[in-house]
Chains A and B, each alone.
Chain A
Amino acid sequence: MDWLEEHARRGGELRAVVIARLPECMAWHSWTEEGWDPVDVAAYFGDLARANRTAMKEVAGSTEPVSLFIEAPDQVIVVRDLRDDMVGVYVFDGSTPLGVVRLQTRRLERKVRAHLPEPSDAFEDITDEIEVPEPLRARPLELSPEALETRVPARGERVRAILDFMHTVAPDPHLVGRRLALRAGIAPDLLVDRPDTLTADHLSRLESAACEMLGIDTLGI
């Protein structure tokens, strides 16, 4: 049994737990009973958490983590900030007393926090034995005079945005740059070192490759 399922099932009142990544609002990990789609839960309640953060910042000037309680006839839903890039969504049976909801949420959140992955821009410094190269990301622009004549900065920005997005949401982030290059048929020196020189066809292939790798129709970025 998965660690999340094991802890989620203990109380008996939970119907779903979805840990969503922000800002892309995709499920990082979940346990749900039948009828709850983790993709939908992550998308809708992740968006709600983002909107709530913006509202709190604009209206109250607060950037502190917050919780949302949603009481519906059949469910009580708790949305809690875990950290800047993660939010937890806990769905309880509607008959669960609110005190139990709070207690269960706090207990489960402790377990969830212990399993969260490192933030995407941080390394776990377990060993200093092996140096790790930079992942295949777009580097700052360094163009030859010939390339300068044909560069399209907006296209380069788009390429960088796609690579960054894919590093955040795609499986196996340590492989994603090379896989994108292979799938799109774009030489890595072009993709990484000279993204501004890519043609419209290159960009189209890159977008298609990214969509195929995520199983979606459009990137939405």
Chain B
Amino acid sequence: MRDVGHRHLGDLAIHVLAPLRKRVLPGIDLLGGQPAVVHGHRHDLLLDRLVDDALGEEEGRKVRVRTARDAWMPVLDASVQGTGADSVAQRLEVFRQLFEITGHGQILIEGDAQGGTARGDYLHRGLSHNQEYGERIRHSHPVDAVAAGFAAAALTIATRASTPMTGRELTCIVDHAEGCTFTLEPDPSAEGPRHHRLDLSPRTGGPARDEVESGIRGLITDRRNDERGLAKHWGSWLTRQPVAYGAALRQVVVAGAREKDPRLVDVAISLLRDAGRIDMLHLFIRILTSPEWASMFGPIWPQPSVVAASCSAIARSLGHGGLTVESCTRSRLVVLADPDPEASWRTHLPEGAADAGSAFLVGMAMAIAQVAWLDWKDGGPEEVPRRLLESPRVRVDTLLDQALGDPTTRVVVER
């Protein structure tokens, strides 16, 4: 084991994560005091692409770096408190571990309060981008804005820099470079870490703790990331990340669409929903047909209400809020989210700014409906049927929204 000061690396992983990651309620995970969720790479890649679609490549990249930095800064700040790391080297080591443990890959950050550099190997975005798009996109701009933002936040917090850093990716594996390299420098326009004090207590009672959620959550927690710091499970490269990253970017996409043409707002929201829907479709189907699921709960019972309830438990285990299925028939699904972590975050936005609404939650509800309405009599498909990837012709209403002061967020999907 490598000595990093007062603690050995083998212990450090436990010390890094244990004080940071907490499950306070069913469906809510905290990472450094901030709500955090697990997403698959299809969501992450598409959301990043949508930001670039809305803002253009250059501006999109800057916004993604800035958003990642701002989302991670309070988490890293809390991790310093939680681990007692008291030198720059120790703090950077804690952050490096945190990056790996959360499935983002390997990153080595160096520098001081005036700036620095970072090198990334096996970064989540680059690798998954090459896997999904590599042979269809000939030349790509660097895609690891999350790593750039994380590295900027890390050097800021580690050095206690008075001016927060920003990061820029110089080389990236998506453009055939051997590794990903970053430069980090002060960003005078940036603010310090913002700790959102979110009210995440359920207002209507929330879901009960159940064995399905606990079982799936255990599976995710027990599964080790590979030696590259990546977590490929059930056909998805999973990352644990602050809710603030995705929630903020969804608002950015809608605002960018509006600025181009107000008629594009609906297009942007439908794409944001699809980012959540397609990602969750893959996860729901792969988990429900996995050997692990069969060994814990037996084959899935082919009833829409049972399948929908199982999907909502999977969503809770990934930290997507206190999801419950109020009702599910063959033509109508009603999903409740209490608490709804993204809605809680949106309450911090200026009035009228939360246009993207609960786009991810709606997309997830659509995925639950699609999976519940599949024919599961023969055990269901092991992969997502191609036809399900197209946007389903369904009517979706968000009747209640916790961000607007309602007691719960309520999504109805009908066909």
A residues contacting B by CB (< 8 A) are 26-30, 38-39, 117-118, 123-127, 129-133, 135, 169-172, 174-175, 178-179, 181-183, 185-189, 209, 212-216
Contact = CB atoms under 8 A, between A and B. Distances in A.
Contact of B138 (A124, A127, A185, A216): A216
A171 B132 contact: yes
B274 interface: yes
Interface stretch (B2-10, B98-106, B201-209, B260-268): B260-268
Contacts of B139: 215-216
B84 interface: no
A157 B169 CA distance: 39
Interface of B: 46, 49-50, 52-54, 57, 132-133, 135-140, 257, 260-261, 263-264, 267-268, 270-271, 274, 370, 373-375, 381, 385-394, 415
A163 B238 CA distance: 32
Chain B: interface secondary structure? Answer: helix
A40 B389 CA distance: 30
A29 B387 contact: no
Given A171-B132, A182-B50, A132 B375 contact: no
A80 B48 CA distance: 38
A187 B132 contact: no
A215 B137 contact: yes
Contacts of B46: 172, 175
Given A172-B46, A216-B138, A189 B263 contact: yes
A132 B393 CA distance: 6
17 contacts: A30-B135, A117-B386, A123-B386, A126-B381, A130-B393, A132-B392, A169-B136, A171-B132, A174-B390, A178-B270, A179-B49, A179-B271, A182-B54, A182-B260, A214-B137, A215-B137, A216-B139
Given A28-B135, A30-B135, A133 B393 contact: yes
A179 B53 contact: yes
Contacts of A26: 135-136
B271 A175 contact: yes
| Nearest 5 pairs of A and B residues by beta carbon | A185-B260, A215-B139, A187-B263, A126-B385, A183-B53
Nearest to A216: B138
A130 B388 contact: yes
B413 to A, nearest CB: 11
Contact of A215 (B138, B388, B393): B138
A29 B130 CA distance: 12
Given A130-B415, A179-B53, A181-B264, A124 B136 contact: no
A182 B132 contact: no
Given A124-B385, A132-B393, A185-B260, A179 B135 contact: no
